[in-house]
Amino acid sequence: MRTGRLGQRGYASTATNLSAADPTEVLVQPSRIVNQIKDLNLSVSERAASRLSQINRDSHEVLKVGIESGGCHGFQYTLQLIPESQLDLQTGLMKGGEDAATAKAAEDEFEDAENAKLTIYELNDSTGKVAIDPQSLKILNNTVLTYTKELIGSSFKISGGSLKSSCGCGSSFDVDVEA
Amino acid sequence: MSLGYVAARCSLRTLLWPSRISLNQRPAALLRRTMSSLPVDSAHIETVLKYARLDSKGYIEVEGPEAVKFLNGLVTSKLQASFVKKNLTTIGNDSGSGGPQRSTEEATVPLADFDVTKTNWGLYHEAGPTGPYISRFGQYTSFLDGKGKLITDSILYPVPVTVPNLMKTRYPKYLLEFDKKEMLGRMLQTLRGHKLLSKVKISAVEEDAVRTWEMSIALEGMPDVVESAWITNIWRPMTTLKSPGDASEFTNGLVQSLFHGHEDKIRALYLDWRMDGLVQRTAEEPLVFRIVTDNTVDDVSTLFNKDVFDFELNVVPENKASFRKERLRCGLLDGTGDVKPSTVLPLELNFDYFPDVVNSNKGCYIGQELTARTFATGILRKRMISVTIENPAALAEYLRNCNATGNTSYPEVEIRTVGGTAEEVQSAEPLAASPFGSSSKPVRKRRRPVGSLLASEDDTAVVMMRTEYFGKIYGNSEGEIGNAELYIDTSDESGKESGATEIKLTPQRPLWMDQWLQSNKPNF
């Protein structure tokens, strides 16, 4: 799976990080979770859920959350809006993209089959959807995905869990080493 | 061996430098030039080869299509030409890859276009005289923690150094060198923790599968007027290689020349060019190699091809301590035996003066923030210098006693004007009136240490010095000379046997000091 650039269509999908989640945020109970992993959870706030529903309504896209190595503090977010048609909602697997077929053949030895199965949170009667791979979910366990409107722009934000310290621009963070 | 500063060689360079190396010419052919074509009297010159086994190193292998991207986010060196700037809210004038200052004499020649996720293509180097180049030799680099402090340095090697057919290789493959005991396990865990979804395979190389060697080869007796053979035959052609294919061909040719008949035993190769960015190498100056061989090699000097130079070969077995001493004398570190993790910054270790170790324009990597900020503000309060120790035995005793009392911090170094006292040198800090009234006892003004002794070997050591005292020690660029001396106060800890209460340190002049004095213009 290639992690591409962030979609920049009118709404900023970058994440900034505060180490502590806002306790006044209202969280939304997902209507359905596909491939739920025991003991691992990503919470979604009401604001994020309604924004996701809006996005899904407007452009039929879902938010794909990922973590990759790099960035000033060790890890950085990759938040992407991908067309819902590319995601198989039953199995959590990505389907057909242009590069999937060619990439598959050569790089199967590097592809971990387990990581290909995404956990999907469906919110607000399955109108808003968030997908995340198991590796990233392990690191983002117990964090909250929310959506903020600031003067500088509106963006999805992830905070809480074991995330600590972030870099100045907010796109990189470090985690407390889990026990 | 001296690192002489040879001035005014410009006129000779034009005579000796081969006509402009065109990119079509096979670089390997250059190596066949022997020294007999140059105006030297070969009877008085000998090739001196010193070597030692370095048994404290272990290796981690990283391979995969995303190996370059993965490593680029973790080390201080720039490993690929372009990068994505995260969270860019303003538009700069160098979006995408920037570049270092190009030499104004030669035009910049760009790299050939190729896919960094395919084939075992080698390493990207930005600091070349005609712009970036590709090489299959190792690159000295470092890993930082999130706060910007050095965890460990390392050498990143493309492996294997020679490939018969580059197009048949599948992915970039590298070896990372770490101290076996202190760092290998920790770095393996860190790398694995960062792997996530990256398409890389990370594995530790079995301990006895490879052997590490240090080797230094000097042409002693070579007259100063001749350009160093290492520069002419290796460095110049190496820095013109703009494609992985050229790099592979050149490296195959070089390894074949230097290690004729034993090419298959060499897994990876590092050439130490760190001082070359600072001063022109003299003809006698040795080139230091680090060689990773397979485990069938018992004596690396037997692999060297004695016919590569026309002079008699003199092989001198050394031990790793003498290589370490020479390294410290030049202000070069190697591993956590020299500096403790998370105690110093990479720029304090003068990495900015060495080619391609630290890059200020490579996108995001761990520890980048503080490093980038220091580059931007130019404010660096400490730098490492090399010193000679007047009484090595006293220092050894002092260090032993410190360890015995559990004191593991770096020994403090203090300064005084020659013939004066420490209080005179340090700016007088006016004592504020105590709100509790004056105490009956006279308070001794606390001397603030001006440096810390990081590492030592015999009579050579490296000290992290506050740069505000450089003017006092080295003089300034206007020609005033320094008049201060350094010492370690041992009166509280030891010195009982030697009877000394202090250990005098004689600062050596680093090769970058002239540059530093120029740009910083210190006051006395």
What tens digit of pLDDT does each residue of A34-88 get? Answer: 888 888 888 889 888 888 888 888 888 889 998 888 777 778 888 888 888 888 8
With beta carbons less than 8 A apart as the criterion, state whether A162 and A168 touch: no
Q: Are B73 and A71 in contact (CB < 8 Å)? A: yes
CA B364 to mean position of chain CA atoms: 22
The reply to whether residue B197 touches residue A172, judged by beta carbons under 8 angstroms, is no
* Contact between chains at B200 and A110 (C-beta distance less than 8 A): yes
Looking at the complex, does the CB of residue B2 fall below 8 Å from at least one CB of chain A?
A: no
Instruction: Measure in Å the smallest separation between the Cα of B368 and chain A Cα atoms.
Output: 5
Q: State residue B104's pLDDT score.
A: 43
Q: Calculate the average pLDDT of chain A.
A: 75
Query: Does the beta carbon of A135 lie under 8 angstroms from any beta carbon of chain B?
Result: yes
Q: Shortest Cα distance from A136 to chain B (angstroms)?
A: 7
Mark yes or no for CB contact A167/B369 under 8 Å. yes
Are B187 and B143 in contact, with CB atoms under 8 Å apart?
yes
Cβ separation B369–A136 shorter than 8 A: no
Q: Name the residue in chain B with its Cα closest to that of A5.
A: B84
Under DSSP, the state recorded for B294 is E
Q: Which amino acid is at B195?
A: K
CA B59 to chain centre: 19
Encode pLDDT of A155-173 as tens digits.
Answer: 888 888 777 766 666 667 7
Question: Within an 8 Å CB–CB cutoff, is residue B376 touching chain A?
Answer: no
Cβ–Cβ < 8 Å for B402, B411: yes
Q: How far apart are CA B296 and CA B521, in angstroms?
A: 54
First to last CA, chain A: 29
pLDDT of residue B16: 29
Query: Do the chains contact at B70 and A69, CB–CB below 8 Å?
Result: yes
Q: Which of B196, B198, B203, B371 to mutate to probe the A interface, most A CBs <10 Å?
A: B196
Q: What are phi and psi of B148, to 5 degrees?
A: 90, 0
The model's pTM is: 0.80
Residue in chain A closest to B85 (alpha carbons) equals A71
pLDDT at B321: 93
Higher-pLDDT residue of B157 and A123 is B157
Cite the beta strand spans of B190-323 per DSSP E. Answer: 201-204, 210-220, 266-271, 287-294, 312-317
Which residues from A are below 8 Å from B200, CB to CB? 110
Cα end-to-end span (Å), chain B: 33
Is A72's CB within 8 Å of B84's CB? no
- Contact between B82 and B75 under an 8 Å Cβ cutoff? The reply is no
Task: Measure B234 CA to nearest chain A CA, in Å.
Answer: 34
Residue contact B196–A168, C-beta within 8 A: no
The closest CB to that of A5, out of B84, B197, B199, belongs to: B84
Task: Work out the minimum CA distance from A179 to partner chain B, whole angstroms.
Answer: 14
Q: Dihedral of CA B390/B391/B392/B397: which sign?
A: negative
Contacts of A172 in chain B (CB under 8 A): 86, 364
Interface touch B146/A165, C-beta < 8 Å: yes
Chain B residues within 8 A of A135 when measuring between CB atoms:
196-197
pLDDT tens per residue, chain B (524 residues)? 333 323 223 223 322 233 333 333 333 344 444 444 456 677 788 999 999 999 999 999 999 999 999 999 999 999 988 766 555 444 444 433 444 443 344 578 888 888 999 999 999 999 899 999 999 999 999 999 988 999 999 999 999 999 999 999 999 999 999 999 999 999 999 999 888 888 899 999 999 999 999 999 999 999 888 899 999 999 999 999 999 999 999 999 999 999 999 999 999 999 999 988 888 889 999 999 999 999 999 999 999 998 988 889 999 999 999 999 999 999 999 988 889 999 999 999 999 999 999 998 887 888 888 898 898 888 899 999 999 998 899 899 888 888 888 888 899 998 887 765 554 455 444 556 656 655 555 554 556 789 999 999 999 999 999 998 888 888 876 666 777 888 888 776 544 555 568 889 999 999 898 888 888 765 53
CB pair distance less than 8 Å for A66 and B84: no
Of A70, A107, A169, the CB nearest to B73: A70
- Chain-chain contact of A69 with B195 (C-beta, under 8 angstroms): yes
Query: H-helix or E-strand containing B255?
Result: helix B244-258
Bridge partners (DSSP) of residue B387 are B461, B507
Is B197's CB within 8 Å of A115's CB?
yes
- Give the span between the Cα atoms of B78 and B360, in whole angstroms: 9
> Count of CB contacts below 8 A, A vs B?
83
Q: How many whole angstroms separate alpha carbon B446 and alpha carbon B145?
A: 33
User: Which residues in chain B (77-106) have CB-CB distances under 8 A to chain A?
Assistant: 84, 86-87, 89
User: CA of A178, closest CA in chain B: separation in Å?
Assistant: 11
Q: Which of residues 341-370 of B touch A (CB under 8 A)?
A: 364-369
* Residue matched to tokens 């590490």: B212
A13 touching chain B per CB within 8 A? no
B220 Cβ contact partners less than 8 Å away, ≥ 6 residues apart: B45, B46, B47, B48, B284
- CB-based contact A168 B369, cutoff 8 Å: yes
B172 close contact with A: CB closer than 8 A: no
Q: What is the ipTM of this complex?
A: 0.70
Per-residue confidence (pLDDT) for residue B71, from 0 to 100: 94
Residue type, A102: T
> Which residues on neighbouring strands pair with residue A149, listed in sequence order?
A154
Rounded to a whole number of angstroms, the distance from the CA of A176 to the nearest CA of chain B is 12
Which residue from A minimizes the CA distance to B201? Answer: A110
Q: How far is CA A76 from the centre of its chain?
A: 12
- Report the 10 Å Cβ neighbour count for A179: 4
Cβ–Cβ below 8 Å for A72 and B198: no
Could you tell me if A43 lies within 8 Å of chain B, comparing CB atoms?
no
Token couple for B133: 């180049």
pLDDT at residue number B109? 86
What domains are there in chain B, each with its CATH number? Answer: 3-54+212-319 (no CATH), 57-209+329-376 (3.30.70.1400), 382-430+441-523 (no CATH)
Query: Which residue ranges make up each domain of chain A?
Result: 3-175
For domain A3-175, give the fold: Hypothetical Protein Aq_1857; Chain: A; (2.60.300)
Mutate to test the interface with A, among B86, B90, B198, B369 (most CBs of A within 10 A): B86
